[in-house]
Chains A and B, each alone.
Chain A
Amino acid sequence: MARSESLPGKASGPPEEGRPGREALALEAERSLRQRLVARDEQALVELIEIASPWLLGLTRTMLADSDEAEEVVLEVFATAWDRIGRLGDEGGALMPWLLRITRNRAIDRLRRRRRWQVKHARAETFDALPVGRMGGELDESAKPGWHVHESVHAALAALPTEQREAVRLAYFQGLTHSEIARELGIPMGTVKTRLRLAFDKLRVSLASIKDWVL
């Protein structure tokens, strides 16, 4: 297992340009897309997949280190979203965070069901060794929405002390349990919990300003 200090891959490319009223536009666009999804508009489903899949695939490919399985999970997530979109309003959540949460949970479920940590860690090592921004050059315009969120979150993670960032990386992005992280890093489990808690406290503050998703 790599003990890379690097952040999760940060794609290269231009940040989303700021423009007046962007938040209002984003919220309106999301509301419109959600309404069309609730109305079972198949084109809306295609649009949602085009917008969200680069980010969901980025998450699943990193966590699962297996492109085919990553696509399977993302497909499951969209199927779930299509079935449950009507309930999202009741949960009071925004579309993209909802998809991200389902995706991460599904990826962790897969990792735990397989219980093939050693293999996966070995593959993850390969992933960690990949240069930062490895896929950036292949992205087209469809990946641009959400770029400002990516920039902000990446900066928030980069601002964490190294040991806290590492705990977040192993727990949140590699799906390891406290005891596995403790073994991995050779530290007591209580220290793992403390690092995670401190990191999350800081991230909550840093990420609080992100309220919208630019479609």
Chain B
Amino acid sequence: MNAHDWYVENRAGFVARSLEAAEERTFRDHLARCAECTAEVTRLERDLAWLPMALAPEAPPPGFARRAAEQIQGRRGRWRQWVPYGLAAAGLLLALGTGYRGGEERQALRAVLADRESRLLALEDTLSVLRGARQVVQTPIAMDGRHGGLLIFQDPASHRWCVVVHGLPPAPAGNVYQFWFITESGMVRSVIVNAETARPAFFTLPMPPVRSPVMGAALTVEPALNRSPEPQGQQLAHVTF
């Protein structure tokens, strides 16, 4: 039996977590160096992934899901309570700092602070749409062999949507990705979706100034110079509420 045999023999024990603490550490260190054991342990974990479901489900206490979600949100949201203090501190530092500097520099620092404040306000505004959303719809998108999605958060209180488009390749040469509102009286052209970067496109839209209620949205590929009031090109997504 060579040294490696011990690891082979104890793979099941490692996955079951029935090794002693020191053995577990030794095995974990070995995994960092051994591709064969890493692959086999990964396979074993994947193959046995459903094993815990042999146990009977247990009814959670009433309201558990909502309470748990609120606790998790509250925990994550705690940092936000420090934002105003942080801004105030930053402002104070700026005020102190500018006491020693000339008027021009003070002006520049005020501009930076104003920029930060406006960004924070915009962020809070976006979050309010996301948090206020009463309906969230999503649909997959496929384009040139790549797969992504369109996600819409609909906030009825502010009559706005937050829209996320992800996974799209850059638009074909001479074309753009066009976002449309679907209304009872027809399609209404909205924004051009920028897919030139790897990051998802994320934008907030007010409802279009039309009398007909908005029923859904569509995403198409349109010639860049085409300003037709109706879609002409390939349809990538079509969702209705």
A binding-site residues for B, Cβ under 8 Å: 7-11, 31-32, 35-36, 39-46, 49-50, 53-55, 57-59, 61-62, 71, 74-75, 78-79, 82-83, 93-94, 96-97, 100-101, 103-105, 108, 112, 132-136, 138-140, 143, 146, 149-150, 152-154, 156-157, 168, 171-173, 175-179, 181, 192-193, 196-197, 200, 203-204, 207-208, 210
Contacts and interface: CB of A to CB of B under 8 A. Distances in A.
B113 interface: no
Contacts of B57: 11, 54-55, 57-58, 135, 139, 143, 146, 150
Contacts of B73: 42, 45
B93 interface: no
8 residue pairs, one from A and one from B, having the closest CB atoms: A97-B49, A54-B57, A11-B56, A49-B65, A9-B56, A171-B18, A204-B47, A57-B58
Interface string B118-148: 0000000000001101001010100000000
A41 B68 CA distance: 15
Interface in B164-222: 164
A79 to B, nearest CB: 5
B72 A78 contact: yes
Contacts of B49: 93-94, 97, 100-101, 207
Given A97-B49, A173-B52, A178-B19, 8 more contacts: A9-B56, A50-B65, A59-B55, A78-B72, A79-B75, A94-B49, A149-B50, A171-B17
13 contacts: A39-B153, A41-B153, A45-B72, A50-B65, A54-B60, A58-B58, A59-B55, A93-B49, A97-B49, A108-B17, A150-B56, A196-B13, A207-B51
A135 B56 contact: yes
Interface of B: 9-10, 12-13, 15-21, 44-61, 64-66, 68-69, 71-73, 75-76, 130-131, 133, 136, 138, 140, 149, 151, 153, 164
B20 A39 contact: no
A110 to B, nearest CB: 12
Contact of B16 (A100, A146, A171): A171
B50 A207 contact: yes
Contacts of B46: 93, 97
Contacts of B53: 55, 96, 100, 146, 149-150, 153
Contacts of A32: 138
Contacts of B13: 171, 178, 193, 196
Nearest to A213: B50
A66 B120 CA distance: 44
Nearest to A109: B17
Contacts of B136: 36, 39, 41, 43-44
